Amino acid sequence: MYLETIYLLAKEKNGVRSVDVADHMGFSKPSVSRAVGLLKRDGYVKTDEEGFLVLTELGIRTAERVFERHTMLTRMLVSIGVPEDLASEDACRIEHVISDETLEAVKRFLEKG
């Protein structure tokens, strides 16, 4: 969720700070700080000289994959009658556990319709 949020905020703004992520997600600043620290440690995010969060190549690839999964699952749930806000919340949970094989089946299904 954090990578996807940083990715989306970076598309909207010139720079993303941890406080922007906290505000957008409704999480506490300490929670975001801890998560960002883990993302930095794992090579997904770095901080530039002005203190903005910047996704690494790995971070961008991963965030784009997560965003695609989220968008696709949201579309599928909306297509079966789930309200969009609930579909987005549920997609957020599902995207972390769905197999690549099942996701590909969802993708094929959505391409037909």
Question: How far, in Å, are 25, 49, 67, 83 from residue 89 at the CA level?
Answer: 12, 34, 13, 10
Q: Tell which CATH classification among 2.40.390.10, 3.40.50.300, 2.60.40.1940, 1.10.60.10 matches the domain 62-112.
A: 1.10.60.10
Which part of the chain is CATH 1.10.10.10? Answer: 2-55
**pLDDT level of residue 13 (50, 70, 90 thresholds):** confident
pLDDT tens per residue, range 28-87: 999 999 999 999 999 999 999 999 999 999 999 999 998 999 999 999 999 999 999 999
Rounded CA separation 59/83 (Å):
30
Q: What is the CATH number of domain 2-55?
A: 1.10.10.10
